[in-house]
Amino acid sequence: MGSRTLLACLSGLAVVLLLLLQGTQSVSIKYQGYQVQLESVKKLKALEGQWKPSPRLQAQSPQPSVCHHPALPLDLQPICASQEAASILQALRTMDNDECELCVNIACTGC
């Protein structure tokens, strides 16, 4: 009888842990073959607002200036290697954070 109670408690604990893990998953955005975290998009917006690269760097590189920021999230870096980096980053910036957090936008998953 004691082993059944222990087994029931462990099963219940496993269910609780699974529910907690599902609640901590981050929201990701899939766009044009790239998958990035919503938090990375929020950081992208913040980085662009606080960092202005030198005019020389802007003239030398066809990439958006934020691609040269040392704090650019890792999941955004592959986008910077794309020839469509500017348009992809612009599209990500314009996605409404509330829509992703509520999973209203079809590009957002992991809610």
> How far apart (Å, rounded) are the C-alpha atoms in residues 19 and 4?
23
Kindly state whether residue 16 falls inside one of the protein's structural domains: no
User: Quick check: is 41 in a domain?
Assistant: yes
Q: How many domains does the chain divide into?
A: 1
Is residue 46 situated within a structural domain? yes
Phi-psi region of 32 (alpha: psi -120 to 50; beta: other; left: phi over 0): left
> Residue 73's pLDDT is what?
95
Q: How confident is the model at residue 79 (pLDDT cuts 50, 70, 90)?
A: very high
In a domain, 86, yes or no: yes
CA atoms within 13 A on the CB side of 75: 17
Domain around 64 = 26-109
**Lowest-pLDDT range, 12-21, 30-39, 48-57?**
12-21
Of 15-19, 22-26, 42-46, the range with the highest mean pLDDT is 42-46
Task: Report which of 94, 87, 86 is spatially closest to residue 41, judged by C-alpha positions.
Answer: 94
Residue 1 lies in a domain: no
- pLDDT at position 48, please? 81
pLDDT-derived band at 63, boundaries 50, 70, 90:
confident
Q: How confident is the model at residue 36 (pLDDT cuts 50, 70, 90)?
A: very high
In a domain, 92, yes or no: yes
**Pairing mode, strands 34-37 and 28-31:** antiparallel
Q: Is residue 52 part of a domain?
A: yes
